[in-house]
Amino acid sequence: MIAPFFKFGYFNDEISLVVAFIIGIGFGFFLERGGFGSARLLAAQFYFTDMRVFKVMFTAIVTAMIGVFYLSWIGWVDISLIYYGNTYLLAQIFGGLILGIGFVIGGYCPGTSAVSIATGRIDGIVYALGGFFGIFIFGEAYPMIEGFVNGNYMGMINIPQLLNINYGMILFIVILLAIGGFTAAEWGEKVMAKKRAEK
C-alpha cells in the first residue's frame, strides 16, 4: 500500500499546503464550470427547474466512492487511513436542516460562496459575511449547546458497518439510487420546462 501518500510520509506538512492549493484550484474550477457560482442556478434545484446540484453532487460522490473502493481492492490505497468525519447523528441532522434552509434563502453553501466571490458576485460576499456571523453565534452559544452538539456519538462509522451489509452491496445500491435519481431529475426538469413554456 503506497497511498494515501501523505500518511505514508512521502511529503511533509509544508508541501501538503501546496497540495491543498492545487486541489482547491481543481475544486473551484469544476464548481464554476458547473455553474455553481451562480445563486440562481443553485436555488433552481429547490424549484425543480434545474437539478444540477443533485446531479453534480451525486455523480461526484459515486465517482469517488467507486474509485476509492477499487483502488483499495487492488491494494494501492489503504482505505483505513482515509479520514472522514465522525458521526454525531442528531447534531448533523439538525445542522443539515438549518444549512438547507440557509442554502435556499441565501443561495449558496460555503464552497460555492467562495466560487461566487471569485467571480465577482456581491451577494456571495454578503452571504460569506453572514456565514462568519453565523459561525460567531455558534461559537458564543457553544458552551450552552455543547452537550447536544457532541451527543449521539457514533464514531467514524459507515453505512455498511451500521446496517451490517456487504460494502459492495451498499455501493451497488447507491449507484442504482443515483441513476434512478438522475432519471427522475431529468423527468422533473422536462415537466417544469413544459409548464413554463405553457405559461
Partner 1 sequence: MLEQFVKLPIRKRVGIIAIILGFIAIFAGSPYDRSTTRVNIKELTKISLAEDHSINVDDLADWIIKGKYDYRLVDLRDTEIYNKYNIPGSENIPIRELFNSDLMRNENIILYSDDEAVSSQGWFLLKADKYKTVFILEGGMKCWKDQVVFPKLPADPTKKQLALFEKKKEVCKFFGGQPQFGGEEQIEQETPKLKAPPKVTVTTKRKKRSREGC
Partner 2 sequence: MTNIKNWFSHHHEDNAGEEALLPKFYWNPYLVGIGLGIVLLASFVIMGRGLGASGALSTVVSVVVNQVAPEHTANNEFYKGYLGDGSVSPFKDWLIFLVIGVFVGGFFSGALAGRNKMIVEKGPNISTKGRLTYAFIGGTLMGFGAKMARGCTSGQGLTGGAMLSVGGWAFMLAVFAGGYAMAYFVRRQWI
Give contact residues for partner 1 (rule: CB under 8 A): 1, 7-9, 62, 66, 68-70, 72-73, 75, 78-81, 83, 85, 160-161, 166-169, 171-172, 174-176, 178-179, 182
CB of 41 to partner 2, least distance (A): 6
Burial class (CB in 10 A: 0-12, 13-18, 19+), 108: buried
Decide: is 183 part of the binding site for partner 2 (CB under 8 A): no
| Interactions with partner 2, residue window 60-79 (CB under 8 A) | 60-65, 67-68, 71, 76-77
Decide: is 168 part of the binding site for partner 2 (CB under 8 A): no
Output the CA–CA distances (angstroms, integers) from residue 32 to 24, 45, 133, 164, in the order listed. 12, 16, 25, 39
CB neighbour burial string for 76-101, b if at least 16 within 10 angstroms, e if fewer: ebeeeeeeeeeebeebbeeeeeeeee
Decide: is 175 part of the binding site for partner 2 (CB under 8 A): no
| Interactions with partner 2, residue window 147-166 (CB under 8 A) | 149, 154, 156-160, 162
CB of 155 to partner 1, least distance (A): 12
Q: What is the DSSP letter of 87?
A: E
Backbone angles phi, psi at 38, to 5 degrees: -115, 120
Candidates 1, 73, 74, 96; binder of partner 2 (CB under 8 A) is: 96
The whole-angstrom separation of Cα 56 and Cα 84 is 20
Cβ nearer to partner 1, comparing 7 with 190: 7
Among 17, 48, 52, 24, which residue's Cα sits nearest to residue 38?
Answer: 52
CB of 21 to partner 2, least distance (A): 4
